[in-house]
Amino acid sequence: MTRHASSETTKIEKVRQWLREERNSRGWSANRLAKEAKLSAEARGKISDIKQQTISAFENGQTKGIPEWVTFVADAFEDHPTPSVIKNITESKCTETSVKLPTQTELRKMLLGLLAPMEIGSPDSWNLKQKIASSLAQRLPIVMTQPQIFHTEI
């Protein structure tokens, strides 16, 4: 076996292990993962025909190479983080020493620059964009230090 083939095999094994561990950490069956991966693909405008048998075959080493559908599986895992990942996200806080934010005035200007090209069907759209930029510039420093305050379910 060549060095390249060996490293490719190791890479495939790591992906298999990652997939199995992530699936098990969520308590999902291969069937549930297939359904979640399909939903994640659809939410991103893609089509996937992934099935439980496909996932099981990959996990058991019956598939050569890393299948394209692995990206949909990764999206499904990202869409459904484990409780430990959620806890880490909500407990981590940005401090001024780790992230230096622009001033509120600078933030407002940057946000207004992002909002300016947006089409809003209102005769008073510029004033509306200014209000949105001001509101976001005011709240961004707070959300950076206390993200759990702004966590909402969509």
Amino acid found at 38? K
Contact residues for 75 (Cβ-Cβ < 8 A; gap 6+): 37, 40, 41, 43, 44
Enter the pTM of the model: 0.52
What secondary structure does DSSP assign to 35-66, as a single string?
Answer: HHHHHHHHHTT------HHHHHHHHTT-S-S-
Q: What is the DSSP letter of 72?
A: H
Residue % of the chain over a pLDDT of 90: 20
Amino acid found at 93? K
Q: What is the DSSP letter of 148?
A: G
Rounded to whole angstroms, the maximal C-alpha distance in the chain is: 69
Mean pLDDT rounded to a whole number for the chain: 78
Is 153's pLDDT higher than 60? no
Q: What is the pLDDT of residues 26-69, one digit of tens each?
A: 899 999 999 999 998 998 899 889 999 999 999 999 988 888 89
- Rounded mean pLDDT of 2-31? 83
Q: What is the pLDDT of residues 101-117, one digit of tens each?
A: 788 888 788 777 777 77
Q: Where is pLDDT greater, at 18 or 144?
A: 18
Tokens of 95: 């401090």
Report the pLDDT value the prediction gives residue 96, as an integer from 0 to 100.
Answer: 40
For residue 34, the tally of other CB atoms under 10 A from its CB is 24
Tokens of 83: 């409780």
- Rounded mean pLDDT of 85-99? 50
Is 4's pLDDT higher than 60? no
Report the pLDDT value the prediction gives residue 60, as an integer from 0 to 100.
Answer: 93
Q: What is the DSSP letter of 8?
A: H
CA distance 87 to 107: 29
Rg (Cα) of the chain, in Å, rounded?
22
Is 131's pLDDT higher than 50? yes
Amino acid found at 66? I
